[in-house]
Structure 1
Amino acid sequence: MRLPRIVWLLPITLFFAIVTIVVSAIRTEMRTSETQAEWLSWYGAHIQFTPGDGPNPAARFPVSGPYNQRLGYSYIPFFAKSLQADDYHITQQMRATPTYDYFFDRGLYPIYHAKTVAGVTLYDRDEHKLYSASYPAHVFADFASIPPVLVNTLLYIENRELLRDGAETRNPVIEWDRFLYALVGHAIHSFAPGFNPGGGSTLATQIEKFRYSPGGQTTSGMEKLRQIASASLRVYLDGPDTRAAREKIALDYLNSTPLSARPGFGEINSIGDGLWAWFGIDLNDAANALNLPEHDADSLRTKAQIYREALGLILAQRRPSYYLASNHTALDALTDATLDRLAEAGVISVRLRDTTKAANFHFVAEAPLPPQPPFMEQKAVNALRSHLMSMLGLKKLYEIDRLDLTARSTLDQDTQSKLVDFLRHLSDPDFLKANGLYGFRLLNPDNDPKKIKWSVVLYERTNDSNKLRVQADNIDEPFDMNEGMKLDLGSTAKLRTLVSYLEIISELYRRYAGLSVEDLQDMAEDAPDVLTEWAIGWLIEHPTADLETMLNAAMDRHYSGNPHEIFFTGGGQHTFVNFERSEDFEVMDLHEAFRNSVNLVFVRLMRDIVNYTIAQGPQTKEQLLDDPDEPARKSYLDRFADQEGAQFLNRYISEYFNLDGDAALEKLLSHAHKGASAHTIIFRSVRPQASITEFADFMQRHPLKESLSNQRLAQLYHTYTADKYNLSDRGYIAGLNPMELWLVSYLQSNPHASRHTLMQVSQPIRIASYAWLMNPHLKRAQDTRIRIILEADAFAQLHDRWARLGYPFGRLVPSLATAIGSSADRPGALAELVGIILNDGTRLPTIRFESLMFGEGTPYQTLVEHYGDQHKEQLLDPAIAHVMKGVMAEVVDNGTARRVKGAYKDTKGTVLTIGGKTGTGDHRFDEFGTGGHLISSRVVNRTGTFAFYIGDHFFGTITAHVAGEEAAKYKFTSALSAQ
């Protein structure tokens, strides 16, 4: 039975009706995005962030994306962990709603309003801004400030529908016609690789790409979907109406599009920065030019020039390094072709097109630098930035400046500014005169004050840290005297020497206090050094005394100021002088010697310290020097041979390194004796396989006074073979250092050996070359070498003491002159030692930042603050610190820094105790002749330093420094710094 037509037409009609409704709904959704707006804005309303106390264990941080990495968001967990080692802890961190976490965990980019401009900002202790970096530096403040011609050009090229009138709820992330065309195009491209599929990206997805995609690239279809989904959610964060969001997309694109990089400027990430870095044009000037009317010829030319360069940047975004750095011709062609299309579409006038075509790109050779403040005004800020770089484990200040970071420092800007201004005026003779800086041991009118470099650093001690309050100098260049120089700070070394002396007395007290008088009397007979002998004797007389009493007694020990004694130190014989001749004839206690900075007393004190240190070894000096059969003597002599041989070898390597075999042999001959035996032993050592014919040719090329017969040549050839003489003897015959002879010989067969290899393979040779030293008849020479090694070992151990208390360099000069400054120091390191003394022997961490705020206002907001004292170190017994504070106060009360006495009072008018140590560095290169007579003396630099504390809380250093031979004209002492 046939069914009525209506029966089978009904389903078809219903199907087409449903399809029509669906298609209509899709078209409506594509046009208005109403459903998306309702749905996505609901999610947007539930994406929120609230700061909470302490670390957030559920915090999420992005891993990739140029924007996240440049602003430091990706590295916040690593920064926090690094800072934890310096007693910085997370005290506040942002908490996100579950909706944010949901999308983040499913692979979308972080959904929030990202900052266009960010950079590091530094504040002082009172929240006064010290420094601020903004990247990009040149941006449009808002959409209204963008010239219309620039907006219209951008939209025509990249996203024509973005600002068209239509539904308020329209999603601007997708232009459906371009998107569908791109999908079809990519499908065709898979079968026809030559087909250009076009692009479906909008400005919104491009922003997602260059901010958040790995490497700023779209690497897959899935990555493109991430961009679309993330951008769509971001658009509806503030509700279903996207009109403001669409304007912000255009604004953000112009303010953040990547435009390659330039040396001296770094990454370029905005049209404004692009105009500045590539063309030297300020964005405000460019905006004014682009808003000019076109009816005036001059205005039109100005507008066209700027328009060409702005258009070029918009087009170059596709391949910025290619167009902007490599191929300007290609950019010219692309720009001209685009100008035609813009004019045809009515985006620009024909007049503007033609005038713009007539213009040329004016690329600048290098990115212009913004005006820089004087270095001396930024010295503390630059030091803070460098320290922050180190704290965060970064390598460049460039990286620091681009972080989204606000740091509150410990610096006192008000005091800092006043001090910088004061230091600036120190180049004015009238100012110097008004402040009493001319006079005896100060400056004289002939001195050029501009040559004097001043540096001041001041710290404040608090309960858990030392805080930098002032760091200033008058050096108008990027250099920091406090942290970056190795300076002869003269008698400030006596501060370190006296601390080491008191440490030794403390060790002796702990070793012997509490023993019976009878035991002490037995030990006194075998005391291996002067300090041990004194300590035991004093404890016999004062068996119940406490440590501080013994330390004060140790300060009462007397030493001579006699300068006529000859000291064997530093590998030779030396004499020393006092600053005041009247001190030459005095015997004084250590109070007076420290107070008046008497050199010879401290040289002798250092000798006692060295001898004590040697006595703590496995053999005493007496055992090693008195007994010629002591087995340990050989090991000391071997060490001496190894070390001195290495010094010679290093010098010879530099001399011979780039010479070929023949040239090296010729140079060696020029250093040797001029005799047949010498020439023969050299040739047979350097060319041991050479035939007698080759030897004869060699001798003929280097004729000597005596004529050599064939018989004599044969005798020489067979007599002076290398295997008949050890290296030491061959060197003696040739008149050469054995290591020089060995080096040239070795390089003949190993011409490409590195310095490291040469030092390694020569180690046994160096020892063998000193075989002569092992002769039992040369005990006196052996003793001298053993004493040199013993002293060097003692200074290596003394260095450990000094380094523990902040000494900044890797070794001490092994000489008693270290007690008076020959090993150099740094003002900042001296200040650290004063801080330890002021804090009863405890080293507190030195901090320059109270807090660091990363990513403020973002989902990654993390506040890190300094608290805790896990890095407190008790380095000195409090009794030592107490005695040191007292003797430092004597320096101010009645010593070399008496000018400072009574200079400071507290808020109640009470005079504050000031203590310190002065030091005058007169650094010279002295040349001595036979018998130790001084031949010449050349001044290298001069310094005057005062390391000080004020009251119970402040400490630091003041340093005056003159570099170069000009320093010979200056006679100031540390009195200048104290004044």
Structure 2
Amino acid sequence: MTTLLGSSELGAGAYRRLTNLRAHSGWRGIRRRPRMTAMVIALVAFLIVAAVEFRTSYIQSHLFSRLADRMHFHMGNGASEDIAFPAHGPFDTRLGYVQLPNYIAQLSREGFTIDRQARTSSTLQWFQSLGGFPPYREKTSAGLTLVGARGQPIFSYRDPAQIYLSYDDVPDLAVRSLLFVENRDLLSLRYPRRNPAVEWDRLGLALISFGASSDGERSPGGSTVATQMEKLRHSPRGRTTGPIEKLRQMTSASLRAYHSGLNTVDFRKQTVVDALNLIPLAGFRGHGEVIGLGDGLQLWYGADFASVNRALRTPARTGPELRRQGLALKQVLSLVIAQRRPAHYLGTGRDELEALTESYLRLMVAENIIGSDLGDAAIGARLTFNTTPPDAAPLSDSVAKAANALRLNLAKLIKTPSFYDLHRLDLTVETSIDRKAQAEATALLRSLREPEGLSELGLTGPRLLSGSAPAQVNYSFTLYERGAGSTHVRIQTDSLDGPLDVNAGTKLELGSTAKVRTLITYLNIVADLHDELRTRPSAELNRLVQQGDPLTAWAAGQLLENGDRGTAAIVDAAMEKKYSAGTGERFFTAGGMHRFANFNRRHGGQMTVSYALQQSVNLVFIRMMRDIVDYHLARIPGAAGIFERADHPRRDYYLRRFIDMEGRQYLARFRPQYRELDPTAIMSHVAERAKYLRPRLAAAFRTVRPDADFKQFSAFIRQWAKTPPDDEEGMRKLYATYAPDRLNLADRSYIADIHPLELWLAGYLYTHPGASWGDIVAASADVRQEAYLWLLKPNRFAGQNRRIRTMLEKQAFVPIHKDWQRLGYPFETLVPSYATAIGTSGDRPDALAELMGIVASGGYRSAPRLIDRLHFAEGTPYETVMKARPKAGVRVLRPEIAHAVRRGLVDVVENGTARRAYESVTAADGSAMMIGGKTGTGDNRHMRYGSGGRLVGSEARSRTATFAFFIGQRHFGTITAFVEGAEASQYRFTSALPAQLFTLLAPVIQQVIGDRSTAQPPAPAPAPAPTIRTDWQALLNRPNPLAANREGFGNPPSLLTSFDGWR
């Protein structure tokens, strides 16, 4: 026993006490009781060992070290069966570890698969199953990182942003401040194996106080810094909810302390660093949650982290230096104290925080932690709080658009709409963006704002930039690369300031690029007709030639004349079919008569479809769209003979649908005039609309207020009429003449010269102020029909046919829209007008690029991907790597049609409107690569027409010019120039501008293509071509979309825009 006790650090004193005990008079009595003797010896030995253990942690170090050594993890291929994710904890939630199972499930649904994932040891699994926090080297700062296709950084966010990297970086005064407030013996070197998770004296006092307190949260804490770190990182809401949670924190902290060996000195130093880096300091307006001393100093005090550290580290020899050091110390100490109740101390309790900080400073002086001079300087300094929200870290212009697009795409993939939450995820994302090429393309587009140098670039002159301010013109550029199983976005940029992504977030009228979609729809119909008619007997084909719609008649004629030569032959023949390019015809479409013009006035007469595509001739595609619409009209069940027979059973159905539709449009047009008016103002506006003329005022008043008595009528007429009646008899005659029971709504509105639905709406809002659009639509159901009773009269046969044609035309555009959507058209509707063939329905640059990719690939559609790989929680037991699954392209276009369209688009570049782009890009061997594309110009205006189709006004809305292209079979994209607003009227550029810009971007494109230009992508696995047929009966049975309660439908058909001059 002497040897045992002597070898311990407390052995000598204990041995002397034991000798004195042996000499005690009662010792011999004890010897006579062997059992009692053994118990006393065991108790004494236990107390001695416990006393030694409490100070040295000798036994704990071995137990926890051996246990922690068995808790490890490693990465393996594929999904892990034994991985466990945390369920709570501020740190684990902020970094995304808690949500990681949801992210994995969501990404799996979006076409990603687990490539690699962490595998944990059985001991670690057991510990996690008990609720323990796994011991590993946790990150001090983490966040979202986006990297490009070649590993180049695009975006990086770290929270906290300013940290100490090591213990040596921390000023001694900052260490002393933390230890004095939280854990004074943490860095004691006397016991190198000491467990930093437990201080038995503090724990015992805390347990006694907790048991005696009615409010456990207000009792003194028994936590060491190491245990507090476990609480702040992993406990639910960062709080200790009871003894079990405290035991979990202490056990986890102990395992973490001994995870690297028996000696805990280095761990304790790192604990100091982590504690300062991860102090929770409430939330700051414009930033969110503040974590760590560095960010806290900047946000709460407006202090520079480096300057504060320099002041604390530099010996203070002068008065100013001492004052700087005193202020820095007070700021640091105050934040260390504030973390106890951060929302209070950094909010309404700032004075209390300052007083408490000064109390601690006096104690630090009294205990010689700091000198009195420094203490006086710190106490004399005042804490001045910052109120200015921080500026967001600026993104480089060269990558800002890519970073925004990638973050939006990522947020959608993992369903995390908040950038605040997204930025704080421990996640590295590998993307398809070529950062270097993106930066160069962005720099070029932005340089075009300056007039200097535009001439040298070949961008000035007719149909280019000339005279007007170039800074008003914005540009966008996309470039995609098709690979095996996926399509990669290599460049996606524009010259706009701000987060709006022109390529993916806008709807632009891109002019004649819509001719490609129209052409494909036309060729699809021809191919379908070939399949449908090729086995029909000659007699039936002859009948179709005479009685069929134009496309059916043409296809039947081809089969009669040439026989069945296959799909490719009839598609080629359709490309050589001739249409008139003449501009003299007026077209009834979208409810009105319209004229269209060609860009080149010399284009007229008959020409082939292929030549019209090459030269972008408008009227050919207008007539082609008319044929497409007629093809679908002929296949609407029950519509045959509807224009010839007045007793056709479907006429009334379509007329009433038209009345319902146009009635809603007019109500939506009138509503803004009355919506905000009170009843008095409504009557004032009605009087103004009636031009203050006595009969018109009378008819309007009796319609708006049919229940008003003679006295109210008389007051209104005398107030507003230019020439009221001279006597009461004249007034009563006026009152009776326009009574609702004598004249119907149409007659009264005719006399008032105000649309009947406007009068009804004024009356409804007079009695129902604030009525919603749904209320208006429901209440006006009958009156809308009443207002159009004139249309249902037998003598209105021609007018009825025009309205029926309008409704059938809308119905015919349903399968056209479905066909366009199959090829990536991004919007939910098409404008039911022939002008859709030349761009009036709008498009989006990225969707147009996707169409080019379908054509270039031979008819396969593969959805573009911005994100290739996601690496979550690197270096943790939750580490997961997910990558995009290769996915074979889906055939959406017959190969015969894709090849025909591709030939036509190559001809556009070699001989047509995109000639400037010819031979701009070369392959690795120096040969010119095949380039195809389509140009489009949109001079987009709001046109107002009077009676007889006379143009009475025109207002510029925007001007666009686009070149959609493909290069070889792998690369495709778009270039767009556009001006928004009334300023667009000052510009005359056409699609020649983006075609010329393509030549300037060719070196950037060449860089992306590199030496892969000669390699062909693996052919996608064939998927069956979809059957492009329309179930008309199903469409007829669908609910009428016009019956939905909506804010409005735009202008009535007579006010629709007419389109002119696209190319």
- Structure 2 length-normalised TM: 0.87
Give the match for residue 159 of structure 1.
Answer: 183
Cα distance in 2 between the residues matched to 1:744 and 1:930: 26
Give the match for residue 471 of structure 1.
Answer: 492
- CA shift for structure 1 position 833: 0.6
Q: Which stretches in structure 2 are left out of the alignment for 5+ residues?
A: 1-27, 997-1063
Give the match for residue 773 of structure 1.
Answer: 791
Amino acid in the other structure paired with 1:547: T
Query: What do you get for the CA RMSD once the two structures are aligned?
Result: 2.5
Give the match for residue 643 of structure 1.
Answer: 661
Cα distance in 1 between the residues matched to 2:171 and 2:217: 37
Q: Flag the 1:489–1:218 CA change in 2: closer, same or farther, 3 A.
A: same
Q: Flag the 1:6–1:424 CA change in 2: closer, same or farther, 3 A.
A: closer
Amino acid in the other structure paired with 1:588: M
- CA shift for structure 1 position 6: 5.1
Give the match for residue 5 of structure 2.
Answer: none
Give the match for residue 485 of structure 1.
Answer: 506
2:830 match: secondary structure: coil
Give the match for residue 252 of structure 1.
Answer: 274
Asked if the contact 1:376/1:473 (under 8 Å) is kept, the reply is no
Alignment map for 1:332-731 (pairs within 5 Å): 332-369=354-391, 372-429=394-451, 431-444=453-466, 446-527=467-548, 529-584=549-604, 586-620=605-639, 623-672=641-690, 674=692, 679=697, 682-702=700-720, 705-707=723-725, 710=728, 722=740, 726-731=744-749
Identify which range, 253-262 or 749-758, moves more after superposition. Answer: 749-758
Asked if the contact 1:674/1:704 (under 8 Å) is kept, the reply is yes
Cα distance in 2 between the residues matched to 1:779 and 1:383: 54
Cα distance in 1 between the residues matched to 2:505 and 2:942: 22
Cα distance in 2 between the residues matched to 1:937 and 1:666: 31
Verify: 1:299 aligned to 2:321, yes or no. Answer: yes
Cα distance in 1 between the residues matched to 2:217 and 2:919: 88
Cα distance in 2 between the residues matched to 1:202 and 1:616: 81
Amino acid in the other structure paired with 1:498: L
- CA shift for structure 1 position 321: 2.4
Asked if the contact 2:31/2:37 (under 8 Å) is kept, the reply is no
Asked if the contact 1:888/1:917 (under 8 Å) is kept, the reply is yes
Select the residue among 71, 76, 83 that pairs with 1:47: 71
Asked if the contact 2:398/2:440 (under 8 Å) is kept, the reply is no
Give the match for residue 874 of structure 1.
Answer: 891
Asked if the contact 2:957/2:982 (under 8 Å) is kept, the reply is yes
Cα distance in 2 between the residues matched to 1:92 and 1:755: 54
Amino acid in the other structure paired with 1:462: G
Cα distance in 2 between the residues matched to 1:798 and 1:950: 28
Give the match for residue 1012 of structure 2.
Answer: none
- CA shift for structure 1 position 709: 5.0
Give the match for residue 24 of structure 2.
Answer: none
CA distances 1:403-441 after superposition (whole Å, capped 9, x unpaired): 111111112223223323333433454533333223332
Cα distance in 2 between the residues matched to 1:172 and 1:376: 49
Q: Flag the 1:710–1:39 CA change in 2: closer, same or farther, 3 A.
A: same
1:476 match: secondary structure: coil
- CA shift for structure 1 position 569: 1.9
Verify: 1:132 aligned to 2:156, yes or no. Answer: yes
- CA shift for structure 1 position 282: 3.0
2:98 match: secondary structure: helix
- CA shift for structure 1 position 317: 1.1
Cα distance in 1 between the residues matched to 2:161 and 2:608: 64
2:574 match: secondary structure: helix
Q: Flag the 1:217–1:739 CA change in 2: closer, same or farther, 3 A.
A: farther
Asked if the contact 2:57/2:193 (under 8 Å) is kept, the reply is yes
Give aligned pairs, total.
Answer: 969
Select the residue among 822, 844, 868 that pairs with 1:826: 844
Amino acid in the other structure paired with 2:244: M
CA distances 1:753-796 after superposition (whole Å, capped 9, x unpaired): 32233223333432333222212222222222222222222234
Cα distance in 1 between the residues matched to 2:91 and 2:744: 69
Identify which range, 107-116 or 759-768, moves more after superposition. Answer: 759-768
- CA shift for structure 1 position 240: 1.8
Asked if the contact 1:489/1:944 (under 8 Å) is kept, the reply is yes
Asked if the contact 1:806/1:832 (under 8 Å) is kept, the reply is yes
Q: Flag the 1:376–1:768 CA change in 2: closer, same or farther, 3 A.
A: farther
Amino acid in the other structure paired with 1:123: V
Give the match for residue 905 of structure 2.
Answer: 888
Select the residue among 143, 160, 171 that pairs with 2:167: 143
- Structure 1 length-normalised TM: 0.94
1:581 match: secondary structure: coil
Verify: 1:264 aligned to 2:286, yes or no. Answer: yes
Cα distance in 2 between the residues matched to 1:882 and 1:358: 83
Give the match for residue 805 of structure 2.
Answer: 787
Identify which range, 679-688 or 902-911, moves more after superposition. Answer: 679-688
Cα distance in 1 between the residues matched to 2:951 and 2:65: 88
Amino acid in the other structure paired with 1:488: E
- CA shift for structure 1 position 234: 1.4
Asked if the contact 2:940/2:956 (under 8 Å) is kept, the reply is yes
Asked if the contact 1:188/1:195 (under 8 Å) is kept, the reply is no
Q: Flag the 1:210–1:653 CA change in 2: closer, same or farther, 3 A.
A: farther
1:623 match: secondary structure: coil
Cα distance in 1 between the residues matched to 2:349 and 2:838: 64
Identify which range, 384-393 or 372-381, moves more after superposition. Answer: 372-381
CA distances 1:937-961 after superposition (whole Å, capped 9, x unpaired): 3433322211011111111111122
Cα distance in 1 between the residues matched to 2:81 and 2:787: 66
Q: Flag the 1:926–1:694 CA change in 2: closer, same or farther, 3 A.
A: closer
Asked if the contact 1:276/1:367 (under 8 Å) is kept, the reply is no
Asked if the contact 1:118/1:135 (under 8 Å) is kept, the reply is yes
Give the match for residue 899 of structure 1.
Answer: 916
Alignment map for 1:745-760 (pairs within 5 Å): 745-760=763-778
- CA shift for structure 1 position 7: 7.5
Select the residue among 956, 959, 964 that pairs with 1:939: 956
Asked if the contact 2:195/2:254 (under 8 Å) is kept, the reply is yes
Give the match for residue 763 of structure 1.
Answer: 781
- CA shift for structure 1 position 714: 5.4
CA distances 1:195-215 after superposition (whole Å, capped 9, x unpaired): 952111221222112211222
- CA shift for structure 1 position 80: 1.9
Asked if the contact 1:916/1:947 (under 8 Å) is kept, the reply is yes
Q: Flag the 1:624–1:222 CA change in 2: closer, same or farther, 3 A.
A: same
- CA shift for structure 1 position 820: 1.4
Q: Flag the 1:634–1:837 CA change in 2: closer, same or farther, 3 A.
A: same
Q: Flag the 1:221–1:773 CA change in 2: closer, same or farther, 3 A.
A: farther
Give the match for residue 249 of structure 2.
Answer: 227
Asked if the contact 1:259/1:313 (under 8 Å) is kept, the reply is yes
Cα distance in 1 between the residues matched to 2:716 and 2:976: 62
- CA shift for structure 1 position 683: 4.5
Amino acid in the other structure paired with 1:263: R
Select the residue among 919, 930, 940 that pairs with 2:936: 919
Q: Flag the 1:791–1:319 CA change in 2: closer, same or farther, 3 A.
A: same
Q: Which stretches in structure 1 are left out of the alignment for 5+ residues?
A: none
Cα distance in 1 between the residues matched to 2:615 and 2:88: 63
Cα distance in 2 between the residues matched to 1:17 and 1:196: 41
Cα distance in 1 between the residues matched to 2:29 and 2:262: 48
Identify which range, 402-411 or 750-759, moves more after superposition. Answer: 750-759
